[in-house]
């Protein structure tokens, strides 16, 4: 008699991408249970913590005007209205208007809304790629981009990976791809790399994509609202916004909401409206988000002061931590990535616990998200943090270093492991 393996069998093991974290199952290090609304100080484990783990870049999560619009909209539309997909009964003039305003803001002809950023990335890429198109992707691209690539191609051979932000690697790949290509080529990259905080070299990438006749998709989840003179993102930062063919932004970070959008030339967006399956076959974005997002966009458009403050806090934090001897990675965006060598799971837990016991909430990031052997504290400053929050945080890191006698020394090889050579 044949015996078959039950699909639930694996659930008893500690396998799977985040298996080691699942095995931990503690709700303290992984899936911590938060006890207050997102902000600069958040309650956790019954105690207030200075929060450095929320992508609330411009501090809009606590904005009372946005909340008031949300309250009014819920009173009128309820939680779900409008209902149905955009194609059927879920479209309204407000959705169309928000798309128009987003396109206008990021200087593209048109834009399409998605209910989650993750679904936006997948819907966009999967709808634009067809048989024999080739995808060229940065090695460190976000999981949503990887999943999009996987779901877009019919043959995995049509996904080619270049070393993170390495222009030689990208150019070599584009040359090789052009020798065999039968159809289109789409380069996939983040704008600001959300984990490590460095920025894709979009000026060089745009030059290469023109030279090798490819198209470019930029997931600027962490750049929209934050980077560039007007907060238009990483493309504006490099003055190449017009060269980005498919510009994607999420609402889950600087907008402090939910959903996302892709902006592009008109025919491409119109194509997506009828072919991006993650949106075509999903209920449309509820009005409470649409209307409050318009207000958030207003704040973002006029967010010069907030952005300046955000970068000021980021610089103060990174300088203070560097002065203490911590290795702070590239600080090209507001994200402050702090790397500690010789860290394994139990060290990471110890360090995180130590910081939290000192009233500072950080998340420890480790392999497989970053290379083995390091622990990264990904610190996310916001425009609402104060000098006092920074000072208390620096002091918690000082006590971490001294009480636990951390060896913070990093060498060239460590640097390469983190940013290059992968
Ligand atoms: C780079 C990047 N792309 C896409 C997403 C997915 O966006 P959302 O959270 O809006 O689904 C995220 C969120 O973590 C992200 O960091």
Total count of domains within the chain: 2
Does residue 18 carry a pLDDT above 90? Answer: no
Do 40 and 135 sit in the same domain of this protein? no
Angle between helices 167-180 and 202-211 (to 10 degrees): 20
- Which atom of ligand 1 lies nearest, measured to the CA of 260? 10
| 54-103: pLDDT as tens digits | 999 999 999 999 999 999 999 999 999 999 999 999 999 999 999 999 99
Rounded distance from Cα 117 to ligand 1 centre (Å): 5
| Residue 1 pLDDT grade (very low, low, confident, very high; cuts 50, 70, 90) | confident
Do 21 and 106 sit in the same domain of this protein? no
- 5 within a domain of the structure (yes/no): no
Q: What is the pLDDT, as a whole number, of residue 419?
A: 67
Does residue 19 carry a pLDDT above 90? Answer: no
Rounded distance from Cα 114 to ligand 1 centre (Å): 12
Q: 0.85 cut: is pTM over it?
A: yes
Do 296 and 309 sit in the same domain of this protein? no
Do 225 and 241 sit in the same domain of this protein? yes
End residue of a domain, out of 301, 316, 345: 301
Rounded distance from Cα 251 to ligand 1 centre (Å): 9
- Which atom of ligand 1 lies nearest, measured to the CA of 258? 10
Does residue 347 carry a pLDDT above 60? Answer: yes
Which residues on neighbouring strands pair with residue 328, listed in sequence order?
338
Do 118 and 200 sit in the same domain of this protein? yes
Distance separating alpha carbons of residues 263 and 102, to the nearest angstrom: 8
- Which of 56, 115, 118, when mutated, tests ligand 1's pocket best, judged by the most ligand atoms within 8 Å of its CB? 118
What proportion of the chain, given as a percentage, has pLDDT over 90?
80
Q: Is the CB of 252 under 6 A from ligand 1?
A: yes
Is beta strand 47-51 parallel, antiparallel or unpaired with respect to 110-114?
unpaired
- 350 within a domain of the structure (yes/no): yes
Q: Residue 366's domain spans which residues?
A: 10-58+304-419
- 4 within a domain of the structure (yes/no): no
Mean pLDDT of the 152-160 span: 94
Does residue 369 carry a pLDDT above 80? Answer: no
Does residue 422 carry a pLDDT above 60? Answer: no
What CA–CA distances, in Å, run from 264 to 77, 184, 216, 271? 30, 17, 11, 11
Do 70 and 53 sit in the same domain of this protein? no
Do 186 and 294 sit in the same domain of this protein? yes
End residue of a domain, out of 248, 270, 301: 301
Q: What is the pLDDT, as a whole number, of residue 420?
A: 61
Do 36 and 88 sit in the same domain of this protein? no
| 168-202: pLDDT as tens digits | 999 999 999 999 999 999 999 999 999 889 999 99
Distance separating alpha carbons of residues 121 and 137, to the nearest angstrom: 13
| 206-250: pLDDT as tens digits | 999 999 999 999 999 999 999 999 999 999 999 999 999 999 999
Does residue 421 carry a pLDDT above 70? Answer: no
């Amino acid at each position: 008699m044949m015996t078959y393996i039950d699909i639930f069998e694996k659930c008893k093991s500690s396998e799977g991408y985040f298996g080691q974290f699942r095995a931990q199952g503690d709700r303290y290090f992984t899936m911590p249970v938060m006890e207050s609304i997102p902000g600069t100080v958040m309650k956790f484990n019954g105690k207030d913590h200075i929060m450095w783990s929320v992508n609330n870049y411009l501090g809009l999560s606590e904005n009372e005007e946005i909340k008031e619009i949300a309250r009014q909209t819920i009173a009128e539309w309820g939680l779900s209205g409008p209902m149905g997909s955009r194609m059927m009964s879920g479209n309204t003039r407000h959705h169309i208007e928000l798309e128009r305003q987003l396109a206008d803001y990021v200087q593209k002809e048109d834009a399409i809304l998605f209910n989650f950023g993750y679904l936006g990335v997948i819907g966009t890429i999967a709808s634009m790629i067809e048989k024999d198109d080739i995808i060229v992707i940065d090695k460190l691209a976000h999981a949503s981009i990887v999943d999009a690539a996987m779901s877009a191609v019919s043959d995995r051979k049509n996904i080619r990976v270049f070393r993170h932000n390495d222009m030689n690697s990208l150019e070599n790949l584009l040359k090789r791809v052009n020798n065999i290509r039968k159809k289109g080529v789409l380069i996939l990259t983040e704008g600001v790399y959300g984990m490590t905080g460095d920025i894709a070299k979009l000026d060089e990438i745009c030059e290469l994509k023109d030279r090798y006749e490819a198209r470019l998709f930029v997931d600027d989840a962490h750049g929209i609202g934050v980077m560039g003179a007007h907060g238009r993102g990483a493309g504006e930062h490099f003055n190449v916004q017009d060269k980005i063919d498919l510009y994607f932004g999420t609402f889950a970070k600087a907008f402090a909401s939910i959903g996302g959008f892709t902006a592009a030339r008109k025919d491409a967006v119109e194509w997506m409206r009828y072919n991006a399956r993650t949106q075509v076959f999903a209920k449309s974005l509820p009005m409470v988000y649409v209307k409050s997002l318009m207000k958030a966009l207003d704040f973002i458009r006029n967010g010069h002061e907030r952005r300046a403050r955000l970068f000021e806090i980021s610089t103060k934090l990174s300088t203070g931590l560097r002065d203490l001897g911590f290795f702070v990675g590239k600080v090209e965006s507001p994200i402050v990535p702090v790397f500690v060598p010789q860290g394994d799971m139990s060290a990471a837990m110890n360090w995180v616990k130590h910081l939290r016991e000192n009233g500072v909430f950080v998340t420890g990031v480790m392999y497989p998200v970053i290379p083995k052997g390091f622990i990264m504290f990904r610190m996310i400053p916001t425009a609402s943090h104060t000098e006092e929050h920074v000072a208390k945080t620096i002091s918690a890191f000082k006590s971490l270093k001294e009480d636990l006698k951390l060896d913070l020394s990093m060498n060239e090889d460590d640097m390469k492991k983190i940013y290059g050579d992968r």
